[in-house]
């Protein structure tokens, strides 16, 4: 790929970029200490009941699912509670949407 190709592509898609404000779900790995369970509790509360069920505790952190645009908000939320996130890695896009599709009425 040449430099001109990159600039030509830059305006074509915002999927999986900081400009991606859709509700597609991504799997993330969050590395964070959790000595007393407070990190996990805050993450689960922040995600809400539906998405908290998908949080998986790992040796040095958590696996979780959320839209891309939620990443900075989660980091800010944890920092506000004095919980350090050592890395937050987007692993892959997965099936599903943040909010369930509403059924048609009537």
What pLDDT is attached to residue 75? 95
Give me the chain's average pLDDT, please: 85
Q: What is the mean pLDDT of residues 73-97?
A: 94
Phi, psi dihedrals of residue 6, rounded to the nearest 5° = -65, -45
Question: Is 42 in contact with 75 (CB distance < 8 Å)?
Answer: no
What pLDDT is attached to residue 6? 42
**Domains in the chain: ranges and CATH:** 19-96 (3.30.70)
What pLDDT is attached to residue 13? 77
Q: Over 90: is that where the pLDDT of 10 sits?
A: no
Side-chain half-sphere CA neighbours of 21 within 13 A:
1
Residue 96, sorted as left (phi over 0), alpha (psi -120 to 50) or beta, turns out to be left
* Residue 52: count of CB within 10 angstroms of its CB: 16
What pLDDT is attached to residue 80? 95
């Amino acid at each position: 790929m040449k430099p001109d190709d990159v600039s030509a592509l830059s305006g074509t898609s915002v999927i999986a970029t900081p400009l991606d404000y859709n509700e597609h779900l991504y799997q993330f790995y969050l590395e964070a200490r959790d000595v007393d369970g407070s990190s996990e509790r805050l993450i689960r509360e922040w995600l809400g009941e539906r998405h908290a069920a998908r949080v998986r505790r790992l040796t040095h952190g958590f696996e979780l699912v959320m839209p891309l645009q939620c990443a900075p908000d989660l980091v800010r939320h944890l920092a506000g509670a004095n919980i350090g996130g050592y890395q937050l890695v987007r692993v892959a896009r997965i099936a599903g949407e943040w909010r369930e599709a509403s059924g048609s009425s009537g």
